[in-house]
Amino acid sequence: MHFIRLLSTIPVSQMKPSNIIEFDYRKRMNAILGESWKIFKSQFIHGRHEINKEAPFQHHFAQIIRSVGNLYSIGENDLFKVDLETKCENVKGKSKYIDISCKFVKHCNCAIELKFKTSQQGAQDHGRIDVYVDIEALELVTESQFDLGKFYMITDSTPYVNQSRKGVGTVFSTHDGHFSSSNQEFWYNSKGREDVRVNLRNSYNFNWEHIENWYFLELTIE
């Protein structure tokens, strides 16, 4: 009897705060992708899988997202699905295949674009432009089909990370610390990409993460 009264006098502020997965689907989706990206980077750096181009990047990252997403399916009716090469219609008048899409069915979905560029591939000018093209595509599909967009890039090529003094990199800038302009058209007369014009509604912070000889970038498109 005395023991029960003693427990009832413990202030609520001294209790341990709750530590469970939030049920909100959007928060869970962000948590899934954050944890999946951390796991993928760790496996990549330590060589769990041989990844030397974009296809295995796509395959293994999707596997991780599927596994983590299933662990974050905490409700009785939760169903988490992952697909590759999801077709989106009318993206600047054309069909666009999104590298990875994932969703809590009927609740929240996310479009994901990937870039894997090495120093041996070269063509960094085209690579920078293609980064902006992917970001623009994610903006467009999040207006019509998806709740959230994510862009992930891996490279060991320093021109993507270092600031350019001339050329394409001064317009389609991807260097570390760069904030792209919002509500602006981007264009540069680069051979092979002369007709590519990109319009971004939002600004993005290119905040690279350096691990060993590699650089990793994550951008969120709301």
Q: What is the 3-state secondary structure (H, E, C) of 127-183?
A: HHHHHHHHHHHHHHHHHHCCCEEEEEEEECCHHHCCCCCCCHHHCCCCCCCEECCCC
The Cα–Cα gap between 109 and 80 comes to: 9
The Cα–Cα gap between 138 and 197 comes to: 15
H helix or E strand, kind and range, residue 21? none
Per-position pLDDT tens, the chain of length 222: 454 555 555 565 688 888 888 888 899 999 999 999 999 999 999 999 888 889 999 999 999 999 999 999 988 888 999 999 999 888 888 889 999 999 999 999 999 999 999 988 878 889 999 999 999 999 999 998 999 999 999 999 999 999 999 888 889 999 999 999 999 999 888 888 888 899 999 999 999 999 999 999 999 998
Closest CA to 110 of 68, 154, 75: 68
As given in the structure block, the two tokens for residue 65 are 């997202």
- Give the global pTM: 0.89
Closest CA to 135 of 113, 157, 160, 154: 113
